[in-house]
Structure 1
Amino acid sequence: MVRTPLTQEERERGERLGRLLREARGARSMAEVAAEADLSPETLRKIETGRAPTPALFTVAALARVLGLSLDELVVRCALVVA
């Protein structure tokens, strides 16, 4: 199965999500947060760096729970900013 290339907007949204998660993680280690969310540290690293710009909803929900973020907040903060 061939995956459709991501649009520029999807890549930028993934980068915003990654920045938000990094900020929310603060001083906690990537390994600690990943373990609590039942993810590999590599998966979290890819999301935080934008290399996995479209993570599964369950992955994002698990990270939001561990980091004390609401899914509503993530949607609003990761939405396209129109100038």
Structure 2
Amino acid sequence: MVRQPLTPSDRRRGELLGELLRHARGDRSMVDIAARSGVSVETLRKIERGRIPTPAFFTVAALADAVGLSLDDLRRALEPQPLTA
């Protein structure tokens, strides 16, 4: 199976996900959140920097739980916004 190239909006959504997780992490360390979520520090770092724009669902769910974000809130924040004229 060939993976389709990411679109600019896919990349932007990945960057936004990273920003949201970084903001929700606050002053807690990456090591703390990585340990709480079971995700490696390096993976967390890459997601926060937008270098993994489409992380696996269970990775996102574990990180969201570790930083106190609901998946519903995360989904709403990452929904494409309609264009206004």
State the match for 2:81 in structure 1. 81
Q: Bigger CA drift: 37-46 or 1-10?
A: 1-10
Aligned partner letter, 2:12 = E
Cα distance in 1 for partners of 2:18, 2:30 equals: 12
Q: 1:4-83 residue pairs with structure 2 within 5 A?
A: 4-83=4-83
- Structure 1: gaps of 5 or more residues: none
Query: Given the two structures, how large is their TM-score scaled by the length of structure 1?
Result: 0.93
Determine what percentage of the aligned residue pairs are the same residue. 60
* 1:2 shift after superposition: 4.3
Q: Flag the structure with larger Rg.
A: 2
Name the SS for the 1:54 alignment partner. Answer: coil
Cα distance in 2 for partners of 1:69, 1:19 equals: 13
Divergent runs of 4+, >3 A:
none
Q: Across the two proteins, how many residue pairs are aligned to each other?
A: 83
- Structure 2: gaps of 5 or more residues: none
